[in-house]
Amino acid sequence: MRDDLRILADRSYRMLFLARTLSLLGSAVIPVALAFAVLDAPGGSATDLGLVLAARSLAQVALLLFGGVLADRMNRFRLMVGSDLLAFAAQAVLTVVFVSGQPSLPVVIALSAVNGAAAALFLPASRGVVPQVVAQEQLQSANALLRLSRNSTTIGGAALAGVLVAAFGAGWALAVPAATFLGSALLLAGVRVSHPGRAATGTMLADLREGWREFSSRSWVWLVVVQFAFVNGCFSAIYVLGPLTAKEQLGGVTAWSVIVTAQAVGLVGGSLVAMRIRPRRPMRVAVLATFGFLPPFALIAAGAPVWLIAASMLVNGVCIDIFEVLWDTALQNHVPNEALSRISSYDAMGSFVLGPLCLAVVGPVAERIGVAQTLLIAGGVLGLVTVATFSARSVRQLPARVPAAQPATV
Please work out, in degrees rounded to the nearest 5, the angle formed at the alpha carbon of residue 358 by the alpha carbons of 217 and 368: 140
CB 116 within 8 A of CB 60: yes
pLDDT at 233: 85
Residues for the chain: how many in total? 410
Task: Say how far apart CA 56 and CA 27 lie, in whole Å.
Answer: 12
- CB neighbours of 10 closer than 8 A, spacing ≥ 6? 133, 134
Q: What is the pLDDT of residue 14?
A: 86
CA angle 135, 67, 326 (to 5 degrees): 40
Nearest residue to 211 (alpha-carbon basis) of 339, 334, 121, 335:
339
Cα–chain center distance at 181: 17
Radius of gyration of the chain (CA): 21
Residues 114, 264, 6: CA angle, nearest 5 degrees: 85
Q: Which residues of the chain have pLDDT under 50?
A: 404-410
Contacts of 380 (CB under 8 A, 6+ apart): none
The DSSP H or E segment spanning 297 is helix 295-301
Instruction: State the amino acid at position 126 in one-letter form.
Output: S
Q: Which DSSP symbol is given to 104? A: -
Question: Looking at residue 405, what is its pLDDT?
Answer: 41
Helix pair 105-133, 46-73: axis angle to 10 deg: 30
Give the number of other Cβ atoms within 10 Å of residue 168's Cβ.
14
d(CA 326, CA 63): 26
CB 296 within 8 A of CB 385: no
In order, the DSSP letters of 128-186 are HHHHHHS-GGGHHHHHHHHHHHHHHHHHHHHHHHHHHHHHH-HHHHTHHHHHHHHHHHH
Q: What is the pLDDT at residue 298?
A: 93
pLDDT given at position 196: 52
Instruction: Give the Cα separation of 91 and 99 in Å (integer).
Output: 12
Average pLDDT of the residues of the chain = 82
What does the pLDDT read at residue 274? 82
CA–CA dist 317, 176 (Å, integer): 27
DSSP string, 217-241: T-HHHHHHHHHHHHHHHHHHHHHHH
Give pLDDT, residue 253: 62
Q: What is the dihedral of CA 369, 260, 130, 88, to 10 degrees?
A: 100
pTM: 0.73
